[in-house]
Amino acid sequence: MRSEIGATAPNGIELSASPKGLPVGRLAITWVRIPFVNTSPLTDLHLLLGLAPVFWFVGIEQFVALPLLAWSMIKLALRGKRWQVGVPAVLLAVMLVIMLLSATSIDSGMRTLTFVRTTAMYVVGLLVAIVIAAECNSPAIVRKLLRTLVLMMGVVGVMSLLGIIGVADVRFRSLAGYLLPQALADTGYGNQIVWRFLGNQSWFQGFGSYFRVSGIFLFSTMCAAATAITMPIAVYFAVSSRGFRRLGYVLVALLVLVPLVFSTGRTSWLAISAAGLVVVVLRLRLLPRILSLVLALAAVASLFLVLPPGFIGEVVDDTLYARGAGSTTSRMTIYRATLEGVMERPILGWGTERDITTLDNFDLPAGSHSHYLGFLYKHGILGLAALLTFIGVITWQVWSTLTRKWSGRLARIASMLSFVSWALLTAALIGLTSVLDLDATLALIVWVVIFSGLRLTMFLRNTDPRDSQGAAA
């Protein structure tokens, strides 16, 4: 071992003088990177995303984000680092206050646990907002975070593909399943944590009997939502990279496409398609935008004139009942019970989902299967107003930024934001018929995409559009 400061021992651990000023010759190990222990908060967020398949295998993916991000907050505080959060993060905090007020209506111990679990997802969102605001100081850092998300979902694609071809069509008990209290393990939610599987056999019109992918998510619809939200960002990396990297990202995008297709989430398919079309049209200048709208309306009108009577209705019926009548009928029952519950407690709602007691052997609760209707049911008009204001502010900040003209490096940042806005709009549309706050991994993905997009918006809004250099891309 060399004796001077900054030497490297044979084991590769970097040695340096003690920060307290020990004399030369007395060496101390000052830094050994231990994941989550002394890594930076941003690295913690990367690890939370990248290790999601590992957490799923162990069975802790639904619980691990909040304590680890809370520890990240402590590390930020110890470093004395300052940060500023925007209006959306403040509105998220307001939503949390309203959620806590609505909890006074909960009258069941098990539903109290449901409330705590769901509320934790929004606390995670606030912590993600703080980490990104404090640590993502350039668009390049945001890009790396989004890349981690895409690569992780590529791994989920590989796992899904193995399940589809029968190599990984397995079912096993997670390690966390052995520790979960039996009362919780016996619930539908607990059963999903106890038993690990990548999908199950199902039926879909056109597919027949097939392996319906759920991946590392609680349910197939949530797998579909996660992949639909990630897909635009995967496309961004594929089109913005060069050479062999482009080929690699094209492969990753195709892998992400696998669970999107084989989870057969009809809303997710429609959402990513509609959102992509909206983004393309709104990114055009005014005249092409008007022409595009006129052509689209003319095309729709021509369909009604050319196609046989009743054809459109048959297509709609085929789409609604592609998985059989049970899926749509169950949803209608849930929505009816949800609206009835809203009429009983319109201001602050019921605090959480509740069982539909008027039907025998119906185990799906009121307040589920729609993020917006569910939020109205659980947190009343005040909660829904806060949620819609949150979405409205994000929409205004992102779109008012994208409609400006950018050049040079700023144009590349705006291009990245365009694909993120595609993902954001996809998530907003999926929320019409799915909840985004039940699965912890899906919720983490949504929060990362939201606040990454807002961070990119901040970089652009704080720079003169005529400055072709701008922030480092």
Sorted by sequence, the CB contacts under 8 Å of residue 236 that are 6+ apart come out as 146, 415, 416, 419, 420
What pLDDT does residue 179 have? 83
Closest alpha carbon to 463 in 412, 423, 422, 424? 412
DSSP letter at 404? S
Instruction: Give the helix, strand, coil percentages of the chain, each rounded to 5.
Output: 65, 5, 30
Weakly modelled stretches of the chain, pLDDT under 70: 1-31, 284-327, 464-473
Distance of alpha carbon 373 from alpha carbon 341, whole angstroms: 11
Please count the other Cβ atoms lying within 10 Å of the Cβ belonging to residue 12.
Answer: 6
Distance of alpha carbon 347 from alpha carbon 352, whole angstroms: 14
- 209 membership: H or E segment, kind and range: strand 208-213
Distance of alpha carbon 440 from alpha carbon 49, whole angstroms: 11
Distance of alpha carbon 381 from alpha carbon 390, whole angstroms: 14
**Which pairing describes strands 195-196 and 15-17: parallel, antiparallel, or unpaired?**
unpaired
Closest alpha carbon to 380 in 355, 331, 346, 409? 346
Please count the other Cβ atoms lying within 10 Å of the Cβ belonging to residue 15.
Answer: 17
